[in-house]
Structure 1
Amino acid sequence: MLDLQTVELLLSISETELVEELLIGLLAAPQLVIFFEKFPAIKKALSKDLLVWKTKLGLKLQHAIVPTAISDEFSLYKQTLSLNSSLFFNQLPDIIQQLEYLNSPFTPQAKKLAATIDKASDSFQSLFIRKWRTSLSTQVTTLHQSLIQEDLDQLIVELQERLVINSALEPFLVENEQSAGQLWDMTRSEKYKSDSDTLIEYGKFLSQQPELLKLAQQLGRSYQATSVDRKDIHYEIFRTMVREPATLPEGVNGINQSDDIVRILPSEMALLNIDELEFEFYRRFLEQRLLTYQLKGEVWREQARTKAVSKIVTDKQARGPFIVCVDTSGSMGGFNEKCAKAFCLALLRIAMADNRRCYILLFSTDVIHYELTSDRGIAEAIRFLSQRFQGGTDLAACLSETLDKIDQKDWQDADTVIISDFIAQRLPDALVSQIKNKQKKHSHRFHAVAMSKHGKPNIMKIFDHIWRFDTGLGQRLRRRWQIKNN
């Protein structure tokens, strides 16, 4: 059996143009055009996806097995190419019979051509081969189109699903071009369908809690981008004017000895008129001892020189990532749970907009890890939001794992956020010392988002900043009243 790549090479067929035409038509679809107008970054992200798809499709087409009928007909075609004129006309009836046996689309045309033979000629053989080749090329192109269309239909289904998910999540997670592109990447190769309803549910809840959203924005934007000075060395060309002796002198500067006949003194020229002194003239000339006028002038010329120049350049450093620790103990259930999850969703939105990473640690008796800004971030977010809050509060274990995390290279600039009611056991002195060391020596910042006014003061004092969101019934009613009256 022949593979499709072999047949392509021998027939000089390329699938590239077919694929390009299909993709151009796909990108021009009205649904995509509208989406791209709103979020140009998604078009750029989609272009990368299509490039990967084209590469995979190319490999698939190259190694696709040609159907037996086309493979056998192609073998017959190659054998026929090697026949000389005499053998070709002798075997022509057998060739047509084999084409008929293979159900070749070329059979009717081959019979029609054979019926027009007047006499054996090279031109007829050439015409027959050319028509046959065209028929084979059409069959292979049709095979190409069927294989490409199969993959394209699958791609369109995937794109439609991703467009639906992106459209649904855009109001809650997309703040700018950066986050639009990242959201598109995060929905790659995942089928969420109804699972994304969980994200939408918490997104709507967050939109109903403007104070919670504002608090997340204040915390997320509170970390100012740092500046780092570096020495930048580059080379510049400096042009100066320098004074040099002129090629053509400008004035008399004195008398000297030389062999310059043009500038000799008249007294020296007189030696040539005296026979006894003529040889003396020649001797002085050879020894360059003739008395001559010394002429000298000056000109100014531009001279270019390269010089190293160094200066201090200030580079803006990107904001660091988030490490968010969420208390999932029983006391954080109910409304507190919804607020904590919605707050994390708000931080994820900020992280995506600022190209920052967002890592979640859920703690009660165990610690569970999620990275919401990874390639599988949407799936991770859905898993996180589906967790139920129950159990005890082991804040010490979570903070210990957080310290291990920020020791890793990619997380050394992280801001740590603890979301809890802080009704927990006293922290070990050794752990408190480690946190203070990170704050003092490495400028790490630890934020507390307190969901209750009953948090233990001894725990709260370790944080750089405490952000309060009282979830008590009185405060909830007050916020609801404010929303209705705004």
Structure 2
Amino acid sequence: MMSLQTIELLLSISESEIIEELLIGLLAAPQLAIFFEKYPKIRNAFNKEIAGWKIKLQDKLQQSEVPAAIYAEFTLYKQSISSENTLFFEQLDSVIQQLEELHSPFFDRAKKLSATAEHRNESFRSLFLHQWRKSLSVQVTTLHKSLIEGDWEQLISQLQDRLAINSALEPFLVENDRSSGHLWDMSRGEKYRSDCNTLIEYGKFLAQQPELQKLAEQLGRSYQPTSVDRKDTQYEKYRVMVREPATLPESVNGIFQSSDIVRMLPTEMVLLNIDELEIEFYRRFLEQQLLTYQLKGDVWREQVKVRAISKTVNEQLPRGPFIVCVDTSGSMGGFNEQCAKAFCLALLRIAMADNRRCYILLFSTEVVHYELTSSTGISEAIRFLSQRFRGGTDLAACLSETVEKLNQQDWIDADVVIVSDFIAQRLPESLISQIKNKQKKHNHRFHAVAMSKHGKPNIMKIFDHVWRFDTGLGQRLRRRWRAG
């Protein structure tokens, strides 16, 4: 069976042009134009993905096989092209009959052309084959569209879902072009069974708590990127004038011994005229002892050389990722729970804007893990925000897992944030020692976000910085009064 790509080449059909037409029609859709006008930061991320769609659709077309009917008709067309005029007209009626048997769309047109073929000459043959080629091109183009129709409809459906998700979450998660690209990438993949209402609700809640959002900004951007001095070696060309011996010397500088016969003294030539001394001449020649003129002369020539130039470059290292430990005990329920989740959403926004990873650990009696900046970050965030806070507080187990994660290469420069009311049991001395070791030797920073004024000081003293957000009723009323 002949491949579709082979027929395309022989008919000069470009599947890329067909795909390009589909994409142009898609981009011209009013819905998409309005969306990108409203959210221009997402357009850059969308444009980067178009190339991948083209390659995927082209691969599908090139790997497809041609249906038997089109293959048989194309074989018949090739035979007719290669036939001479006489044989072509002898076989014309048979060709038309075969077109009828193949149910070819060209059959009716071929029959009409044959009926007008009173002058069976080269012009008629060219017209017949030209019309036949056009019919085959239409069939192959229609086949193209039918092959990618299912993929195209699925692509449109996914695109609509992603546009809806991105437009809903953009106000809460997108800060710059980088974060819009992250959001677009995270919405790729299977259609989400659950909608993003939970994310939107917590985004709106965060907007109503400006002090909580400000706290997240201060914590997230409190660490200034470290800088390192790096030796940067570059090579540059430069030109110098060098002196070399001339091919044609300018003056006599003296006499010395050599085997240069051209510059040999006349007295040495005498040895060749005396039979008894001829052997002596050859000896001096072989031993380079002939007396010869020493000539002097040189020229100056430009020469290109390369030299290394080392410079010290001050390079800023990027900020590390976030590891956020969230207390989900019963004492963190209600308003505390809302604030903790909204705070994590604010850190996620910062992480996406700064190209940092954000990893969440929920702890009560067990530890649950979520990576919000992964390729499935949206579904991970929905699962995280859907969790209910209940149970006890096992802060030690969570911190132990965090220390283990800091030993992994991907998280070796992470910032650790603990969100809790810190109403918990005392930490083991061995764990405190491990945390202090991370702080001193590896410069890890451990932040505490205290959501209660009743937290135990002995626990919080191990942290580099304690950020306080009192969720008590009195503080909530004061914040609302100041906002009003």
Q: Distance in 1 between matches of 2:304 and 2:91?
A: 82
Q: Calculate the TM-score normalised by the size of structure 2.
A: 0.84
Cα contact 2:41–2:176 (8 A) shared by 1: no
Q: Distance in 1 between matches of 2:67 and 2:313?
A: 65
Q: For the structure 1 residues 432 and 103, does the alpha-carbon distance in structure 2 shift closer, same or farther, using more than 3 Å as the test? A: same
Q: Distance in 2 between matches of 1:475 and 1:102?
A: 83
Q: For the structure 1 residues 226 and 39, does the alpha-carbon distance in structure 2 shift closer, same or farther, using more than 3 Å as the test? A: farther
**CA displacement at 1:256 relative to structure 2:** 7.6
Number of aligned residue pairs: 450
Q: Distance in 1 between matches of 2:307 and 2:64?
A: 62
Q: Distance in 1 between matches of 2:35 and 2:229?
A: 41
Q: Calculate the TM-score normalised by the size of structure 1.
A: 0.83
Q: For the structure 1 residues 123 and 227, does the alpha-carbon distance in structure 2 shift closer, same or farther, using more than 3 Å as the test? A: same
Q: Distance in 1 between matches of 2:482 and 2:386?
A: 30
Q: Give the aligned residue type for 2:344.
A: C
**Aligned equivalent of 1:324:** 324
**Aligned equivalent of 2:222:** 222
**Aligned equivalent of 1:177:** 177
**Aligned equivalent of 1:470:** 470
**Aligned equivalent of 1:101:** 101
Q: Give a deviation string over 1:20-69, Cα, whole Å, max 9, x none.
A: 12223323444434544565553332233222211221122223344454
Q: Give the aligned residue type for 2:22.
A: L
Q: Give a deviation string over 1:286-328, Cα, whole Å, max 9, x none.
A: x889xxxx999x9999876533222221110000000000011
Cα contact 1:328–1:388 (8 A) shared by 2: yes
Q: Distance in 1 between matches of 2:331 and 2:155?
A: 46
| Residues 163-242 of structure 1 aligned to structure 2 (within 5 Å) | 163-192=163-192, 195-237=195-237
Q: Distance in 2 between matches of 1:49 and 1:244?
A: 61
Give yes or no for the alignment of 1:436 onto 2:474: no
Q: Give the aligned residue type for 2:482.
A: Q
Q: Distance in 2 between matches of 1:444 and 1:424?
A: 23
**CA displacement at 1:85 relative to structure 2:** 4.1
**Aligned equivalent of 1:377:** 377
Q: Give the aligned residue type for 2:359.
A: Y
Q: Secondary structure at the match of 1:324?
A: strand
Cα contact 1:328–1:393 (8 A) shared by 2: yes
Cα contact 1:39–1:177 (8 A) shared by 2: no
Q: Distance in 2 between matches of 1:190 and 1:106?
A: 43
Q: What is the root-mean-square deviation of aligned Cα atoms in Å? A: 3.2
Q: For the structure 1 residues 243 and 51, does the alpha-carbon distance in structure 2 shift closer, same or farther, using more than 3 Å as the test? A: closer
Q: Secondary structure at the match of 1:195?
A: coil
Where do 5+ consecutive residues of structure 2 fail to align? 256-290
**CA displacement at 1:425 relative to structure 2:** 1.1
**Aligned equivalent of 2:64:** 64
Cα contact 2:39–2:167 (8 A) shared by 1: no
Cα contact 1:406–1:413 (8 A) shared by 2: yes
Q: Distance in 1 between matches of 2:13 and 2:434?
A: 67
Q: Distance in 1 between matches of 2:135 and 2:303?
A: 72
Deviates more, 1:185-194 or 1:36-45: 36-45
Q: Distance in 1 between matches of 2:471 and 2:136?
A: 74
Q: Distance in 1 between matches of 2:179 and 2:318?
A: 15
Q: Distance in 2 between matches of 1:203 and 1:453?
A: 26
Q: Give a deviation string over 1:354-379, Cα, whole Å, max 9, x none.
A: 00000000111111111100111111
**CA displacement at 1:436 relative to structure 2:** 0.6
**CA displacement at 1:389 relative to structure 2:** 0.8
What is the percentage of aligned positions where both structures have the same residue? 72
**Aligned equivalent of 1:156:** 156
Q: Give the aligned residue type for 2:368.
A: I
Cα contact 1:348–1:372 (8 A) shared by 2: yes
Cα contact 1:446–1:465 (8 A) shared by 2: yes
Q: Distance in 2 between matches of 1:198 and 1:351?
A: 20
Q: Secondary structure at the match of 1:402?
A: helix
**Aligned equivalent of 2:285:** none
Q: Give a deviation string over 1:210-266, Cα, whole Å, max 9, x none.
A: 11000000000011100111222223345678899999xxxxxxx9879xxxxxxxx
Q: Give the aligned residue type for 1:44.
A: N
Q: Give a deviation string over 1:133-163, Cα, whole Å, max 9, x none.
A: 2211111112223434543333233222212
Q: Give the aligned residue type for 1:375.
A: S
